[in-house]
Chain A
Amino acid sequence: MSHVEPGAAEPPVGALPASPQAVSAPSSRVIAVPAHERLPAFFTLDHGTATLAGALAGRVNRRWRLLAAAALPAGSSPDALLGLLVDRVRSADPARATLIGADPGSGPEPLAAWTRLAASSVPAATLAVIAATERTRARLEEAAAGAGWNVVAGSAERTNPLVLTRLATRPGVAALLVGIADPPDADERDLAAELAVAVAGIASRRPGMRIFLAGPFPEVPLLDAFRAPVIVRLPAPAGAPGDLAASTLRAALAVARSGPDDSRRALAASAGSLARVLGLRVEILEIGISGAARVLAVPVPADDGGIAATVQIVEAPDAALFRMDRPGSIDRVDHWFTQGLDRARLRDRLAELAIAPWRDLDADGALLRAAALRGAVERLLAATDPALGDRGVDLVIGAGGAWSAVPAPAAAHIVADVVRRPGAVQVAIDHARLLGPIGTITDDAERDALLADLGEDLLLRLGTIVMPRGLRPNRPAGRLVLDAAGTRSEVELVAGGLTLVDLPPGASGTAELAFRGTPELGPRGRRFQVAVSGGLAGLLLDLRDIPLRLPERPDRRRELLGTWERALWPERDT
């Protein structure tokens, strides 16, 4: 994005290219050829808690292309799903099926012969956190939650050993984290010896319990524990409270929680590849039934002259889609829901969806999912902003089944409603759930090459959101001139509303915005020139307040939200 004062040269913003590239445009970086180039096709499988997603990619004109993709409820057979994809390619494009060897009887059976890239999301298990002092408990708890664990916590400073034992032995607790600072504080030193014996007592009750010891916690009593616990040494909680992104303890706990094919960690790898390949700052908002994560990947110059990427991931189990056990969670879903429903009924519907996430896909079930998704993204941003910040990025990607449960333009509207940052951002969703499985490829060059090769098939592009801050509401705000696909169109801007400009997928161009005031769009100014790319939603000119202010009265709020929702989701009432 660039900011243009009348008659002035365009100054670059930050260290990034002045105009963000369209998602599909690969960088000029030299990319290694994938190791499995000789394969005619491969499958991807993303085993989510609620959804089993599969895709079939095949070689077309020496490039990997997405040939088929489908998603079914978890519990469906992966082989049946992949068989469905093969059958679909055979019936839709028999010639292509022959070329990739998917013809019946033409060679090895595809289900057995073709590689499968698989990722799975592990449901957030519960970790009991016990510390000597409240200060250390807070730091351990923050690291554990950021690593994707559900946390129950207590400290010897505040809680007696009986309550701590109950806490660590309650149903559902999968592991125990005990820790002290390094070096221990004076008050911790006094409590640590007794706490170690208490933890050994807990370990004696639970066969094979995993116990994470963070910092120089005495382990001698545990070595004598009757039930032989699995002891894992981890780094001490370090850094200032709130310095979550850099926490080595958090990273170690994340590894301990999930397996090698964990889809959330794999998303981080894919985000890094996208940042390198596209040269864009990429943010992934992953919302699942059992957890959520936010990934931030920023391209930086590499030592060898190429492009590297810094990647940060923070998980937030509290932001799981239908998790309503935190104060205010139901209220926020009610805030966003455009249908009138009494609170008890709303609670039941959400609880039902937590058990059976695919139930009531259509009609108001879809609207309820959209409201729950807004609430979940709000919780995700609130939980991760302290660690990752709230700076703008170039490309926001929605990942996880929740984003595919609403029509694509409605997904762009959800991002616009909740991710309120001044600037211009491209929006896409991981529609075929490819990012997780591809992220399990350990070799960066191979993963980068595959993502670059898949190109436009990888993400479903929704469009571009342009969101200025600081306009005076309900007044003419200026003018937009859009130059795209060889045509030039003009739109009068009125502050306080949401304006849609048709910009189809594949189209890209330049939007010149001339404001009457000096709003903030990254930098503050009167005239801006923004590179935009199209998608199923097109160009969204979001001239509403930042943060979004809605009427207090529920009926007026629903009416206003419904008006916006209808514009991007015209089929919602049919």
Chain B
Amino acid sequence: MGSLELVPARTLFVSRPRIRLELQPGDRVTAVIGDLVHVGDVVAERIRDARLVEAAGPRDGADQGIPLPGTWLPGEHAHAARRAGAPAGELLFEHAGRRRLASGPHPDRLYAPADGRVLDLEPGVALVLEIDGPGLAATELLGEPHWGRLVLLPEESDPRLALDVALAGAVVVLPGRVDAEALARARAMGIHGAVVASLAERDRRDLAASAARQQAGLHRLAPFGVLVIDGYVRRAFAAAVRSALGAVSGAVVGLVGDPPLLLLPANRELSLPEPDHILVRGGPEAGREGRWLGPGGIRRVRGGITAETGLVALDDGRTVALPIGELERFAVIAANG
């Protein structure tokens, strides 16, 4: 058993991930289990403001059987003085001769975020796809799944200046400081999504509030997703992540939230970090990377805290003992599903 396994592993890539596209009761799925889908295919229509509709069941004597909950039922015209009509909608359940439907106007389209296959359908809950290419692991997707050509903005660029309409339809990687204003501008320019290393809680809330305001105004919002690779406190992308993003620059990628992944094309060569490559996640050396040398014993760190440590040869040439809790390594490939 190598001492390297004392260091917790963080998944870098997920091979052939199974992803779930969230649905709501009332959404109409157009894909069928077993279908091969391509990036950008419409797989479902989402009802923005579904409402409950009560309609009469089939007439007595009509041998139509009882459809399963989750079935999409076409609309019925009213028959004067005999029978009220019903809008098209998804059946919630049928009870005492009455049907409860989820129905509504203003359908939005839900696109396949990558090439893959429809594995399962849970009506009103989720559409499950198996994706052909690998996924780069992230921590959270804010907004909607989407896809686009990956564009890397320069390391120290100000996103408010670097973003322009020429990037419409792209997924942009924002390596520098990012705020809600820059992301709202990106959405307004028709950019499909953004990949960021971290995003503060306040910016997350502002972004969600901005989307909610536009939704409340009945604006049809184009889907837009922000994939957060790490967390909340500002930090740079790890070298392994930068390398992966660089390798797929210019290719079409997808953004999904369940699990949070950047879906990469299957035909690109991805370089993998060495197994003993270590990333420092916290403390005074946060953000630095290096190589694992072995256990460093129990040591007292600042503040009188004692912790198990590991010896790390940092890339700047120093050898330091750091708490193992502040270290992580990358798992090369993890299978999902």
Q: How far is the CB of A552 from chain B (nearest CB, A)?
A: 26
A73–B7 Cα gap in the complex (Å)?
8
State whether A407 touches B68 (Cβ < 8 A).
no
For A246, list chain B residues within 8 Å (CB): none
B225 at the interface (CB under 8 A from A): no
Which has the most chain A C-beta neighbours within 10 Å: B20, B126, B258, B307? B307
Residue-wise, chain B 1-26 has the 8 Å CB interface mask toward A (1 for contact) of 11111111110000000001010111
State whether A360 touches B69 (Cβ < 8 A).
no
Q: How far is the CB of A288 from chain B (nearest CB, A)?
A: 16
For A76, list chain B residues within 8 Å (CB): 5-8, 324
B139 at the interface (CB under 8 A from A): yes
Task: Choose from B96, B232, B282, B302 the contact partner of A574 (Cβ within 8 Å).
Answer: B302
B51 at the interface (CB under 8 A from A): yes
A215–B210 Cα gap in the complex (Å)?
45
Closest 5 CB pairs of A and B: A358-B325, A571-B304, A75-B8, A359-B282, A201-B69
For B68, list chain A residues within 8 Å (CB): 204, 226
CB nearest to A344 among chain B residues: B202
Task: Choose from B20, B24, B325 the contact partner of A166 (Cβ within 8 Å).
Answer: B24
CB nearest to A83 among chain B residues: B1
State whether B283 touches A206 (Cβ < 8 A).
no
State whether B304 touches A162 (Cβ < 8 A).
no
State whether B92 touches A162 (Cβ < 8 A).
yes
For B281, list chain A residues within 8 Å (CB): 356, 359
For A360, list chain B residues within 8 Å (CB): 282-283, 286, 326
For A352, list chain B residues within 8 Å (CB): 231-233
CB nearest to A356 among chain B residues: B281
From residue 37 to 68 of chain B, which have CB atoms closer than 8 A to chain A? 50-52, 68
State whether A572 touches B304 (Cβ < 8 A).
yes
For B93, list chain A residues within 8 Å (CB): 161, 197-198, 200-201
A165–B9 Cα gap in the complex (Å)?
38
For B213, list chain A residues within 8 Å (CB): none
A77 at the interface (CB under 8 A from B): yes
A351 at the interface (CB under 8 A from B): yes
Known: A76-B324, A349-B233, A362-B283. A344 touches B200 (CB 8 A): yes
Q: How far is the CB of A275 from chain B (nearest CB, A)?
A: 30
Q: How far is the CB of B223 from chain A (nearest CB, A)?
A: 17
Excluding A162-B92, A355-B139, 20 further A-B contacts by CB distance (< 8 Å) are A70-B298, A76-B5, A76-B7, A79-B5, A83-B3, A84-B3, A161-B93, A162-B100, A165-B92, A165-B102, A197-B95, A205-B122, A205-B123, A352-B233, A356-B282, A359-B281, A361-B305, A364-B303, A572-B304, A574-B303
CB nearest to B307 among chain A residues: A361
Residue-wise, chain B 253-284 has the 8 Å CB interface mask toward A (1 for contact) of 00000100000000000000000000001110
A367 at the interface (CB under 8 A from B): yes
Q: How far is the CB of A562 from chain B (nearest CB, A)?
A: 14
What are some 24 contacts across the A-B interface (CB < 8 A)? A73-B8, A73-B324, A75-B10, A80-B4, A81-B6, A160-B52, A162-B26, A162-B50, A162-B102, A165-B124, A197-B95, A198-B93, A201-B91, A204-B68, A206-B122, A226-B69, A348-B201, A352-B232, A355-B139, A356-B282, A359-B326, A360-B282, A360-B286, A406-B305
State whether A72 touches B233 (Cβ < 8 A).
no
Q: How far is the CB of A348 from chain B (nearest CB, A)?
A: 4
State whether B69 touches A361 (Cβ < 8 A).
no
A406–B68 Cα gap in the complex (Å)?
56
Task: Choose from B125, B139, B282 the contact partner of A169 (Cβ within 8 Å).
Answer: B125
A405 at the interface (CB under 8 A from B): yes
For B20, list chain A residues within 8 Å (CB): 171
From residue 188 to 234 of chain B, which have CB atoms closer than 8 A to chain A? 200-202, 231-233
B108 at the interface (CB under 8 A from A): no
B295 at the interface (CB under 8 A from A): yes
State whether A73 touches B325 (Cβ < 8 A).
yes
Task: Choose from B1, B70, B102, B305 the contact partner of A407 (Cβ within 8 Å).
Answer: B305
For A169, list chain B residues within 8 Å (CB): 25, 122, 124-125
